[in-house]
């Protein structure tokens, strides 16, 4: 992996890769961190990537977006505290995604993976708490409760964790809602 210009020294030294937008220094007389501004987005940074062709210094995010560094180098710079050797980063539709260890990117996850995620578990608890752990059809409190997606989980991925798309149902009402949906889908609802 190449040196990414992590600047830990005072500006008095001769540094040809010194960013032009110097902001300030932090630290003490033994260890000093120099803070710069990215020449693309203006974000404060202490680690940067230099482009010789443009004679500019970029923050890790802008450098990754411009293709100056690869995904693993981006993770090493941006998440220097993490085990970046096993991490991956990719840009999809202008958004940077990072996956550590055995994590999957959103486009790699199956419906089953989503239902096992912490985000899904937190969404369920939030729906239960909002509804007071009470079936919203028959009013039963406690017992076996389910959270039902009003707009189907697999058909509306952007609404999977929307609180307004969930409703607490008891086991009987949950089964009845699904029976009714199947009858409507098959055109047998009278």
Tell me the backbone φ, ψ of residue 95, rounded to 5 degrees: -100, 135
State whether residue 96 is helix, strand or coil: strand
Q: How confident is the model at residue 115 (pLDDT cuts 50, 70, 90)?
A: confident
Can you give the pLDDT at residue 148?
94
**Residue 20: count of CB within 10 angstroms of its CB:** 10
Q: Give me the DSSP letters along 19-56.
A: -S-EEEEEE-SSSEEEEEE-TTT--EESS-EEETTTTE
Tell me the range of 10-14, 17-21, 99-103, 173-177 where mean pLDDT is highest: 173-177
Q: Which of 2-11, 96-105, 136-145, 152-161 has the lowest mean pLDDT?
A: 2-11
Alpha-carbon separation of residue 118 from 23, 69, 123, 125 (angstroms): 39, 31, 8, 11
Tell me the range of 34-48, 55-69, 109-123, 164-178 where mean pLDDT is highest: 164-178
Regarding predicted confidence, which is higher, 142 or 171? 171
Can you give the pLDDT at residue 12?
44
Segment 64-92 shows an average pLDDT of 80
Can you give the pLDDT at residue 92?
83
The domain ranges of the chain are: 22-106, 109-185
Q: How far apart are alpha carbons 173 and 136 in whole angstroms?
A: 9
State whether residue 178 is helix, strand or coil: helix
| Tens of pLDDT, residues 36-63 | 788 888 888 766 666 767 777 788 888 8
């Amino acid at each position: 992996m190449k040196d990414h210009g992590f600047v830990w020294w005072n500006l008095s030294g001769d540094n040809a890769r010194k960013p032009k937008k110097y902001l300030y220094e932090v630290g003490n007389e033994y260890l000093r961190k120099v803070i710069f501004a990215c020449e693309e987005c203006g974000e404060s940074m202490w680690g940067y990537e230099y482009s010789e062709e443009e004679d500019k210094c970029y923050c890790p995010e802008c450098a990754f977006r411009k293709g100056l560094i690869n995904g693993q180098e981006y993770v090493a710079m941006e998440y220097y505290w993490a085990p970046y050797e096993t991490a991956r980063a990719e840009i999809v539709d202008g958004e940077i995604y990072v996956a550590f260890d055995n994590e999957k990117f959103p486009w790699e996850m199956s419906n089953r993976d989503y239902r096992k995620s912490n985000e899904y578990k937190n969404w369920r608890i939030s729906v239960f708490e909002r509804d007071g752990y009470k079936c919203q059809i028959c009013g039963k409190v406690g017992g076996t409760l389910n959270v039902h997606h009003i707009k189907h989980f697999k058909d509306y991925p952007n609404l999977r964790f929307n609180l307004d798309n969930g409703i607490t149902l008891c086991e009987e009402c949950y089964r009845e809602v699904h029976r009714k949906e199947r009858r409507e889908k098959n055109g047998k609802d009278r």
